[in-house]
Structure 1
Amino acid sequence: MDFTLTEEQQDFRALLRTFVDREIIPVAREWEQTGRYPTEIVRGMAEMGLFGITVPEQYGGLDLDPVSFALVFEELARGWMGIAGILGSHSLACRMIAIHGTEEQKQAYLPDLATGARRTGIGLTEPDAGTDLQGIRTTARLDGDHYVVNGTKMWITNARYADPLPVLVKTDPQATPAHTGMSVLLVDATLDGFQVLRDIPKLGYKGTESCEILLDNVRVPKDRLLGGVEGVGLKQALSALEWGRVNIAARSVGIAQRAHDEALAYARQRKAFGKHIAEFQAIQLKLATIAIQLQAARLMAYWAADAVRRGRADGQTGMAKVFCSEVALEAAIDAMKVHGGYGYSTEFEVERLYRDSILMSIGEGTNDILRTVVAKALVRGDVTV
C-alpha cells in the first residue's frame, strides 16, 4: 500500500505552498480583521488556473483528480480558510455543471468558469431548510419558455460574484417523495428580481461573503434547467456535495497544519522560568497530540479522496469530514493553550484558526448528520472497517 503522493502531485503541492506562503499568509490576518476583500489573491488563483480544477480539459479546466483537489484546499486553508471558501463553492458548482449539464450549458459556462472570468456558487440552503434540503420552499413555475422562480436562499458563498448561480428549486411542490419534484436552475445574476439582500455577519470564515438572496418572480429561460430534466435536482446537488466533504476534510487538515506550525514555532521561541516552553513536558504533550492527530487526519482525507476517484464514497467522505473537522478544532484549541494568554489575542494567528475551525463541523452537513450517513453506508456494506 503506497501512501505517497505522485511526483506530479508533489510538484503541484509545492507550487501551491509557494503561492500561499508568498501571497496569502503575509496579508491574511490584516485583511481578515479589516474586512478587506482579497481581490489580489483571487486574481492569483485565476492566473494559476485554480478556478478550473473541476472543469474538464476540453473546456479549458485542469480536471484534477480528487487527491490533487484535496491538496488545493489543504494548502489554501493553511494560509486562510476563507480563501478556500471562495474556491470551494465555485468548484462544486463547476463539477455539477460538468457532470449533469447539457452540452449547450457546458459550452456556455464552463470555459469562462475555468479561467475565473466567471465565478459561481451553489444556492441550496434556505432560512427554514439547511440539512433537510427536501424542505426547501423556493419554487419554479413553468410559464411558456421560462421558469418563474420565487424564494429566498441563505448562507450563499460567492453570492455577489456568482454568475450563473445553480439554484435548487421545487418544480413540482406537490411531488411525493419531495425530492422527485426538485430541480436545479442556472440563474444568471443579471435577471430581474434576482437580488443579494445582505452579507450575513459571521464569527469566522471571513474573506468570502455569505449572503441572503431573494428571488422575486425571476424569469429563468427553460434551457437553463440543469441537464434539461426536471425532478433530479437533489441527486445533482448531492453528487457535488460528496466532493464537498473532501473539500471540508482537506480544509480542516490545512487549519490543523497551521495550528501545529504556530504552536511549535511559539514553543521554540517563548521562554518561561529561564527555559523555552518547548522543554516543558506539558507543552510537549500538546505538541505531540496535535502532530499525531494531524497526520491521522491527513491520511484519512487522502483516503476518502481516493475513494471518490474509485466511485461512490458516502461513507468514506463522511468519516473523513467528521474526523478531520474535529481534529481541526482540537488542534486550534491546543495551539491556543500553548500560546497561553497570547492565544486569545487577535495579534496572533491562532485565534483566527479557532474561529475558522468551528465551521468545519457544521459546513457540508453537520457532523451528527454525517455520522448517520456513515452508519447507513456501513449497514449497506458500502464501506468496511
Structure 2
Amino acid sequence: MAMYLHEEHHIFREAFRKFLQKEAYPFYADWEKQGIIPREFWRKMGENGFLCPWVDETYGGFGADFGYSVVINEELEKVGSSLVGIGLHNDIVVPYIASYGTEEQKKKWLPKCVSGEIVTAIAMTEPGAGSDLASIKTTAVKQGDHYIVNGQKTFITNGIHADLVIVVCKTNPSANPPHKGMSLLVVERGTPGFTRGRKLEKVGLHAQDTAELFFSDAKVPAENLLGEEGKGFYYLMEKLQQERLIVAIAAQTAAEVMFDLTKRYVKERTAFGKTISQFQTVQFRLAEMATEIALGRAFLDDVIEQHIAGKDVVANVSMAKWWMTEMAKRVASEGMQLHGGYGYMEEYEIARRYRDIPVSAIYAGTNEVMKMIIAKHLGL
C-alpha cells in the first residue's frame, strides 16, 4: 500500500470510480469512434470536483495534495488512455498558471479551469522542433500593449477543445544562448490570428483531440505573458518533472490493466484440452510480467513520495518515465500474443491498449532524452 495514500484518498477513489462507471465507461467506445471526448464530460468532471482539486480554495479548488492527482490519473487510465488530456489539463498545464500567473491571471482563469468551463493545452512542439525545445521558431514581438505571435505548433494535446493555450515562444530570437529568449504566452480562444488545423489522425489515442495550431500575426495582450519575459525555458524545466511523472503513472497503470486482461483471458481460453494458463510457457511469461510490474509499482510509489515531499527527483522521474513506458510496451506485446488472434480484434481491449501505449515513450520528452538526463545526473 502506498504510504502517500490515506483513508480519505481511498474514499475519494471509490467516489471517482463510481462517477466513471456512470459517466465514462459506458460511452468510451463511442468516444473512440467519434474521435473526441465530449465537452459535457469535462463539465461533469468539474461539477463533481475532479478537475484540478489541488488548486487553492481561493480559486475554487480544494487545496488537495498530489495523492489525489495520482488517484485521478490512475482511474482515468483504467477507463482508457485517450483520457490523457484531462491529466494534462489538471497536472501539467494549470500548474503553470498557479505557479507563475499574476493574481489577476489566477482570478480570471483558475476557477474556470476547476469548473471545466476552460480546457487548457500547452504548445511546445513544432514541425521542426520536438525534444530540442531551444530551437523553436515561433516568435512573439512586443508592439505596444500586445505581442504579435507568428509560428506553428503541432501534436498539441487538447488542441481542438483548448480555450487557453500556453504557447512557448521566442520573445528574443537573437538571444545567446537561444533558451534565454524563450517566454510563455497564454493565448485565448478567439484571439485574432490564432487558428487550429485539422484534428490529427493517430495510430492510437483515438478519442484524444490532438491538433496543429497556427499563429499568423496573432494579437495577444501583453498582460497574458506568464511570469517574466525570457524565463520560459526555466519554467518548463521546473514543471517537466511532474509532467513526466504523470506519464509514468499512466504507463504503470496501463501495464497493470493489460496484465489483468491477459491473466483473465488465459485462464478462460482452452487449447489441447486444458486452459492455456496451465501451460508452463504461459505461466513463465505471466510470472515475468508480474515481476516487472511489481518492480515498477514499488519504484514509482517511492518517486511519488519524494515528489510530494518537494524533493528534486528529476533523474528518478526520468528513470521511471523511460523504464515504465518501455515495460508497458513489453506487457502490451506479450498480452496481445497470449490473446492469440482475438488480441488483434478491435473488440478486445488489449488491441486498443497495444495501439495506445507506444506514444508514451515519445511524448513529454522521448525515452532517449530521459537517458540523456540520467547520464547528466550521473556526471557523465
TM-score when normalising by structure 1: 0.93
Quick one: percent identity of the two aligned structures? 36
Contact 1:86 1:208 in 2 (8 A): no
1:383 match: none
> Is 1:171 equivalent to 2:174 in the alignment?
no
Greater shift after overlay, 37-46 or 104-113?
A: 37-46
Deviations 1:68-126 (A, max 9, x none): 32232122112101112333245311101101111111111111111111110101111
TM-score when normalising by structure 2: 0.94
CA shift for structure 1 position 30? 4.2
Contact 1:53 1:63 in 2 (8 A): yes
State how far apart, in whole Å, the 1-side matches of 2:4 and 2:90 are.
28
RMSD (Å) for aligned C-alpha atoms: 2.0
> Is 1:35 equivalent to 2:30 in the alignment?
no
Deviations 1:227-264 (A, max 9, x none): 2x200011112222211111100110121121012111
State how far apart, in whole Å, the 1-side matches of 2:22 and 2:343 are.
24
SS in 2 for 1:153: strand
2:239 match: 240
> Is 1:253 equivalent to 2:249 in the alignment?
no
Aligned pairs for 1:113-152 (under 5 A) are 113-152=113-152
Indicate how the Cα distance of structure 1 residues 6 and 37 shifts in structure 2: closer, same or farther if over 3 A, else same: closer
Deviations 1:18-37 (A, max 9, x none): 33444433433343245353
State how far apart, in whole Å, the 2-side matches of 1:25 and 1:13 are.
15
State how far apart, in whole Å, the 2-side matches of 1:175 and 1:204 are.
38
1:290 match: 289
Contact 1:54 1:95 in 2 (8 A): no
Indicate how the Cα distance of structure 1 residues 131 and 69 shifts in structure 2: closer, same or farther if over 3 A, else same: same
Runs of 4+ in 1 over 6 A off after TM superposition: none
Aligned pairs for 1:185-334 (under 5 A) are 185-227=185-227, 229-309=228-308, 310-334=310-334
Deviations 1:29-57 (A, max 9, x none): 34324535344543442233222234223
SS in 2 for 1:75: helix
CA shift for structure 1 position 12? 2.5
CA shift for structure 1 position 184? 0.4
State how far apart, in whole Å, the 2-side matches of 1:3 and 1:87 are.
22
CA shift for structure 1 position 4? 6.7
State how far apart, in whole Å, the 2-side matches of 1:263 and 1:347 are.
14
State how far apart, in whole Å, the 2-side matches of 1:39 and 1:220 are.
25
Aligned pairs for 1:70-149 (under 5 A) are 70-149=70-149
Indicate how the Cα distance of structure 1 residues 265 and 20 shifts in structure 2: closer, same or farther if over 3 A, else same: farther
State how far apart, in whole Å, the 2-side matches of 1:160 and 1:172 are.
29
Name the count of aligned residue pairs: 379
CA shift for structure 1 position 133? 0.6
Contact 1:46 1:115 in 2 (8 A): yes
SS in 1 for 2:151: strand
State how far apart, in whole Å, the 2-side matches of 1:21 and 1:292 are.
30
Q: Any unmatched runs of 5+ in structure 1?
A: 381-385
Aligned pairs for 1:346-365 (under 5 A) are 346-365=346-365
Contact 2:248 2:324 in 1 (8 A): yes
